[in-house]
Amino acid sequence: MTSSFKGPKASRRQFLAGAAAIGAGAATGARAQSPDPLITEVQEWAQGLGEGVDATPYGMPIRFETDVVRRNVPWLTADPISSINFTPIHALDGTITPQGCAFERHHSGAIELSKDDYRLMINGLVDRPLVFTYADLERFPREQHVYFCECAANTGMEWAGAQLNGAQFTHGMIHNMEYTGVPLRTLLNEAGIQTEGKWVYVEGADASSNGRSIPMEKALDDVLVAFKANGEALRKEHGYPVRLVVPGWEGNMWVKWLRRIEVTTQAVESREETSKYTDTLADGTSRKWTWVMDAKSVVTSPSPQSPITHGPGPLVITGLAWSGHGKIKRVDVSIDGGKTWEQARLASEPGDKALSRFYLDINWDGSEMLLQSRAMDETGYVQPTKAQLRDVRGLNSVYHNNCIQTWHVKTNGEAENVEVS
């Protein structure tokens, strides 16, 4: 049991045992020492019957995958109700994040709001203040887009130094889904924007309201009022039945349980756009309205929670890259801590403001690696190092840490989150 399964941190003990067992197998090369009973003996599953249909009306992952779950870092926040957890990016592949393990961030808990009870109001500087029901929203022309949603605080704990040991914890405040919804501009046009309207203030139905101000230019561009993700209804924790999708911009603006859109002349300067989600520089002044998420990438495997268990030889290095400015142009990978770089292979045509998956297939010689990835987006922006970011911003920043991440992969295949010179 233990050798067939790589637990997470787990499983340092399990991991070592597993690596040894598999390593022993690998040492024999292409020839097995004795016939494998999994092949030579008739197995139970090859003889009896499996489950019938409808055993699980809505399917969950098979029990062998129960460690691929969101996790939180309890010491980060005072209470799990106003808190965040992390997508298990170390254990996923492809680019679409399943809703069930996509990170959650709530400011006053995930509320239960039915479609029947749902109302969306547009008011303020509009010709016709309107109220829509959920059914109304479904009658507007729809669009579909894949976008990443990254919390501005993703990797924030790493600003002062390598802190959390796992890609899930350092980079897991991100998910990437295919949204179906109505462009915000369609709804605004239905209400009729008045010429003095320069901003929209959006808020949710939960107690926090999480109100944010969005400049009109963005509101009329690509913002989506979404009600489906990855083909099915949004999950409660992601704002069922309706959330805002603000492509490329920090996750806090993706208001969940969207209930009101107010056209205004000025930014409201709410709690979430003044006291939080602002970036303090070395001299104590702070940047506000830092909405765009700059280009970033991370190697998801190997990584601390996804060590190499197979010993030297063919190794798949993989990871994710994204940019709030548009498409990823290319990703470079270094195995020597940034001395030399090699261009990785993008798994598919990069999408606009969506995650890209990259691979670098190497023949690992079993020596230590300082593994890094570096994204470049279509504007030519190259993901900076932490030192470069600190040179501009000082040491007190928290949000928008898009620095190059380093994993120290040891000869036994274990990996650790480190910072390098």
Partner 1 sequence: MSKSLKLYAGSAVGTVLMLTLAVNFADRLVPEHSDSYDRMAVENDRDFHLIARAQADEMMAARPFGLGRAALPEEIAAWDLDVSPDGTGLPVGSGDVMTGEEVFIENCAVCHGDFAEGRGNWPKLAGGEDTLADEDPLKTVGSYWPHLSTTWDYVNRSMPFGNAQSLSADDVYGIVAYILYSNYLVEDDFVLSNENFTEIVLPNADGFIIDDRAETEYPIWRTEPCMENCKDTVEITKRATVLDVTPDEETTEEALAAPAEEPVQVAAADPAPAEEAPAATPAMAIDQALADKGEKVFKKCKACHKVGDGAKNGSGPQLNGIVGRSVASADGFKYSGSMVDYGGEWTPERLAAFIAKPKGEIKGTKMSFAGLKKEGDVAAVIEYLKTFGQ
Binding residues for partner 1, total number by CB under 8 A: 122
- Burial classification of residue 49, based on how many CB atoms lie within 10 Å of its CB (0-12 exposed, 13-18 middle, 19 or more buried): exposed
Task: Report the site for partner 1 in 7-66 (rule: CB under 8 A).
Answer: 7-11, 14, 51, 55-56, 58, 60-64, 66
Least distance to partner 1, CB of residue 149, Å: 19
Task: Report the site for partner 1 in 305-364 (rule: CB under 8 A).
Answer: 305, 332, 336-342
36 or 51: whose CB is closer to partner 1?
Answer: 51
* Backbone region of residue 305 per phi and psi (left: phi > 0; alpha: psi in -120 to 50; beta: other values): alpha
Alpha-carbon dihedral 94, 96, 99, 103, rounded to 10 degrees? 80
Please give the structure tokens belonging to residue 83: 């808190």
Residue with tokens 């990170």: 103
Beta strands in 15-98 (DSSP E): 71-72, 83-86
Out of 127, 232, 361, 365, the only residue in the binding site for partner 1 (CB under 8 A) is: 127
Residue 330 and residue 321: Cα distance in Å, rounded? 9
Counting contacts by CB under 8 A, is residue 270 touching partner 1?
yes
Residue 417 and residue 158: Cα distance in Å, rounded? 10
Residue 85 and residue 62: Cα distance in Å, rounded? 22
Counting contacts by CB under 8 A, is residue 208 touching partner 1?
yes
Task: Report the site for partner 1 in 136-155 (rule: CB under 8 A).
Answer: 136, 139-140
Counting contacts by CB under 8 A, is residue 302 touching partner 1?
no
176 or 218: whose CB is closer to partner 1?
Answer: 218
Out of 94, 161, 313, 366, the only residue in the binding site for partner 1 (CB under 8 A) is: 161
16 or 73: whose CB is closer to partner 1?
Answer: 73
Out of 94, 117, 287, 361, the only residue in the binding site for partner 1 (CB under 8 A) is: 287
Task: Report the site for partner 1 in 361-390 (rule: CB under 8 A).
Answer: 370, 374, 376, 379-384, 388
Task: Report the site for partner 1 in 95-124 (rule: CB under 8 A).
Answer: 107-108, 112, 121-124
Beta strands in 101-257 (DSSP E): 105-106, 119-124, 130-133, 143-150, 174-183, 199-204, 212-215, 224-229, 232-233, 243-245
Q: How far is CA 218 from the centre of its chain?
A: 22
Task: Report the site for partner 1 in 400-419 (rule: CB under 8 A).
Answer: 408, 416-419
Task: Report the site for partner 1 in 217-256 (rule: CB under 8 A).
Answer: none
